[in-house]
Structure 1
Amino acid sequence: MHKIKYSIVFILLLITSLNANQLKKVTLQLSWFNQFQFAGYYIAKEKGFFEDYGLDVTIKPFNFGINAVDEVDSKKADFAVARETLILDRVAGKKIVALYALFQESPLVLLSLKNSAINHIEDFANKRIMTTIDDASEVSIKAMLLSKNLDFKKLNFLEHSHDIMDLVNGNTDVISAYLSKTPFDLNNMNIAYNVFAPSDYGFNMYSDFLITSEDLINNDLKTAMAFKEAALKGWNYAFSNIKEASQLIYNKYNEQKLSIKALEYEGDVLKSMAFSNVNKLGEIRLEKIQRIYDLYNVMGLIDNQIDIKKLVLKPGSEIFLSKEENKYIDKNKSIDMCIVPNIKPYSFLQNNEFSGFFADYMKIIEEKTTLNFNLVETKNFKQSLDYFKSGRCNILASAQNISQRRSFANFTKPIIDISLVLVTKDNRNFIDDISVLKDKKIGIHKYYSFNKTLKQKYPDNNFVDVNNIDESIKKIESDELYGHIDLILTSWDKIQENEFNKLKISAKLNLSVPLSIAVRKNDLLMYKILNKAVESISEEEKDKILQKWLTIEYKKEFDYDLLWKVLIGFIFILAFFLYKQILLRKMNNTLKEKVDEKTKELQKINLELEERVKKEVNENLKKDTLLTKQSKFAAMGEMIQNIAHQWRQPLSVISTGASGLKVKKEIDGKIDEKLLDETLEKIIDTTNHLSTTIDDFMHFFKPNKKKQVFKIKDAIDKTLNIFNYNINNKKIEVIKNIEDVSLDSFQGEFIQIIINIVNNSKDAFKEDNTSDMYIFIDVKNKKNEIIIEIKDSAGGIDEEIIDKIFEPYFTTKHQYQGTGIGLYMCKQIIDKHMHGSIEVKNKEYIYKNKSYKGASFLIKLRK
């Protein structure tokens, strides 16, 4: 009996050993002592998530003297947790890559006691501040201090003892600490304290990056992706089960002897920071990384320019699936798919084949997942939705995520956000707001999700349910309806089909329809697979697909029409010319004496005709060129900010070309708006914040902070407080001539504008290498407006590109130094938020009896 037991034990040990040998051994270096800050990794190890992804993970504990980034860079660890200074590590030449950023805000703060009378940043002067070397170099802390014009020479920095009692006992006046840990200890001692958090001053930084080496990414991407997926699974579990995770740490990872309550407190705080302004755990936005990099650069911390895109792991051409998800695909290769068959060019049937934007998009997903989508044909959206609900199709390729559908469907991340527009007869006026059409009947599709949204937003409007846009168009032509509301490209396509000189787009609504892939509620694995595929497709790939269909529709609009016009004109001229030739021959037979005279007349007529032909052809070519240029502008989203202004003009009749231009601008503009919406998160508190992050621009079309009155001089001074004036051992001299004037607006956004313009001048000085470096800032208070001029002596902007600098993603800098969105964002903020204008030109002027030339930015703001 004992022999049997020993044999069983031996076999189990052998199986366990064989299984362990199949796992990939990797190491993770922590950046601090064990606590809830690393709970996701403990959970992934203890729950077997790492093993599920084929990994055998050793978690290396922290000790003083260990630098987690150096451990990865020197190949002593495969993965590590890194702090917000990761960008500076990359600048220093360390070949590391961030897989995700766990915390969207840094938990690092400064603390003072209430009874110390240190209640504001300005009170730090001549006080003792206890920090670690890393804490002092964290840009968020440094920027927060500099934003209040503190002189670092007057700050007494002490070496950190990591003992909060040094603050309590008065051994230091201010101490750096983690918001998730130290406040708990002070609360237990009933000690009142002040928190100075960089995020409260507009400096939102990522923290706790999961990093690996470039070598691992290049040679074993599968392992890197497996670790990332397993770790995120662990973090999702930890944040969903904070008490269970705290108990695990308390029992097994607790050399600091933390209490259960302390661990749970830490978990609650860190959870809020991990999900701050994001829907997906670990999300890294390149725009925010660029914003942080720009702040480093302004503060003079960037010695070597780097390509920040290489700092973050991009989604690859393939997606990483778990073993369970791969097994699902092996068993379910063919997936029945319903579509919306009549929203051209987004989704439609052509010769019984699925065509349009969503067709191309789903083909990419097929390539990424190896799935095969089998089209189930339907007549309309209602039938597609009914088929989907009844199980006749597994997925619905384009549907809006609304509450009524969540009981039977899961929805992937939105694929595209489509604007809604109003179609009317071409003799109707353009309008800004459809609420003024209360006495007009407007058709809306009765089965589309935005039907209910429109009725809720405009309860006083007279909306009429219709089966499709064709029904509305017939009623518009017979004056039964004033107009019809539908998707922008669908509307434009119908306008073209109906000779589009009778109809036009008269308004762009402040509403859009985000469309996703709907998956049946009981098919959770399919939902996870498709959501991963959607997240892996970049904005550039989506734009490329959309541009393809824009180009097809655009060519269809004018190519044939132009061809027929030229052909008919040519035939007419040829017939006229032949008629003249015959007539002249007859006259020659009867009037020989006038041959010479008539021949000369004929030559003259021929010359005139030739000139007319050339003129006509040139005019057509100009139209062709203009239309092509308009298409390009629409694709780039350039000039979208002018549409609202143009729609306010009392226009009654508009030509075909102008109507097309407006539509094309609106098409790409909304996509750009979304890119910005995904990257801009909140607006800086305008009275206390020095600068804004890219996230603060997320709502710049609908700002969620209140305006307030601030002095322009104070805002400019705050901006210049953190500006690094030194370039190549020379100093930039800023000459200010600012009248005492206040502005009722958003101070944080105003500061962002000044930072972008001044920083551009600084970069221009680097390239120009001039000996005299001046920046002039003049503010004048006029009767109805405030005029701000910012100019430099850096030689000006190349005249060939000066008209392009406000375009999105246009940059003259090296690819490692700029994204090309700074000045574009400035123009968006001024036009949309501040109701002003900005323009640039090269200007020559005299200063100190010497002639200079530079770029002059002129900002005009309405009072």
Structure 2
Amino acid sequence: MIKTFFLLLFIFPAFLFSDNISLTQVEKEYLINKKSLNLCIDPSWMPYEKIEDGKHIGMTADYIKLLEEYIKTEIKLVKTDSWSESLEFGKQRKCDIFSLIMPTASRLEYLDFTKPYFDIPLVLTTQIQELFIEDINFLNGKKIGIVKDYAYAEIIKKKYPKINLFHEDNIVNGLKNLEDGKYFGFIGTLYIMDYQIQRDFAGKLKIAGKFDEKWQLGIASRNDEPLLKSIFNKAILSIPKDRKQTILNKWLSIKYEKSYFDSLIGVLTVSILVILIILLINKKLSMEIKRRKEAENLLNLTISSANVGVWSWNPKTNKNSINDVWASIIGYTKEEINQISDIFTLIHEEDIILINEALQKHNKDESIRYETEFRMLTKDGTYKWIYSNGAIVSRDKEGNPSLIVGIHQDINERKLLELEVLKQKDLFIQQSRQAAMGEMLENIAHQWRQPLSIITTVASGLKVSKNIVPIKDEDIDYAMDNIIKSGMYLSQTIDDFSGFLSKDKVRAKVNIKKVLENAIYFYQAQIKKEDINLVLNIDNCNIDSYENELLQCLLNIVSNSVDALSTFDNRKKCIIIDVYEENDKCIISIKDNALGIKEENLLKIFEPYFTTKHKAQGTGIGLYMSHEIITKHLLGQIEVRNVKFKYLGEISKGACFKLVLPKSIP
């Protein structure tokens, strides 16, 4: 029963994973220089973690071993006697990372936090005789124990100020005091409370209530070394689902089996007392029944607190079976849903194909389980985003699915947030494009002055000459040739600018040399004015990509180099561009000799709205959008570092932007 409980509890994933992590060159160099990382944990917090005989054990210990392999860097345990001491060590920078921790306002002063990899309900533990508590306000004025310096202690204190909270150094001491009657209840996480009750307090304590709050836990890193957050975010997302399940089985299922075995030994030992054997057996059976009921209630509590809808479906008969939560997610009661002949009529017609594709992949064993996201019509007439996860549990004689079971989750808020983020990114792109347009218009104005001057000079010259002496035919031909040539130059400039303004996102064969020439063309007037020497080492490289978006990125980088070099006088200025193929990738390297970027700014250069220019000269979105376009749209990589190189026999220093582009986008 307990194994089944934990299997259901973790059946749905919280993240999408990849098989390996891709660190930037800056991140790799950071880890190489760092050599090892110092780890702080909670020394008494099983089954998550504990320091035993000087060693780190528990679920997080297994996770840390995996992460250590992924980042190829040793992680050393810093021994502490309490969680409070671990937090103090973090403030003193004695710890580089914490294995499992929740962000709070005070901790954000010295820590960065990764995405959570545990999402755990908070529950209330009481003595066995207490009734289940449905309204948390019932606890007002009562003595409730809680572990000191745990993040949820701050949350509970703020949200429920009328509860009398008493702090304990650790969970075990708190539960012992609860058993002795010092407290009415003790607050903790679902897994910890269940683990401790099964091991040390079976038949004495129970879980009797739940809070709406959940404890979201991830890895924290010192915020004075921000690269750590990026590195561990990538490492966490790389942990396979089966490895996570293995860790959970190891530290949860096995522990309960041991607890059950110990309980059985206790019954056998007591049963040797012949006089009381019948009474003891009856008592044991009664306790077992009670425990089973509590386990069932706990499972229902967990599903309810996690707002998980459970369903089963027979594809042959199109018959569905659901629980109350499933119906409540879309605003109905279970009875109302049962009156609907076909539940699929509630699914948005555009999303039916997503469900069919996910079912076909799972049916053909192309995926371990059926998994998808879609929109469902709610009772109030609006659509809500649903995450659905399930598996085929039985097939008929022909091998066709006869029963599929799974869960539903309400992901509407997350989905709407994702759509808002996409909207903001589109706004960033628009702002970046407008900034680039402004710079190009200025440069086009410079380029147009000369041909316009030629046209007006030739035209006025002809008019003056006509009034003085007869004009020869060859003079007229020469003048007309100059006017036509200048007009064609202006027309070509308009065509190039119109091409950049095109909103059509069409994937096509792109010649890197041509794109670079276009980028340089827009800035040639300013390059000439600043006396900048262009050094081009461009191999013939073609890719299947989006030309306008690549052009926008190159314009941003070239513009930054020109702006940086414009601040120097009386020196040999240069921009060196190299293009070559390597490992079936196209590499573009753009460097200048403007002395480079300050080291403290290198890690921030691709952040939105970060700029070293004056407010009137830059918005700080150009390089951010270049990074977004290269990594998200063109599926490539971009990095920047300071380099030293020889130019005209002298050692020069400057910033080097390196773009790595795939030959083709899927």
Structure number with the higher strand fraction is 2
Q: Which of 1 and 2 has higher RCO (CA within 8 Å, sep 6+)? A: 1
TM score, norm. by length of structure 1: 0.35
TM-score after normalising by structure 2:
0.45
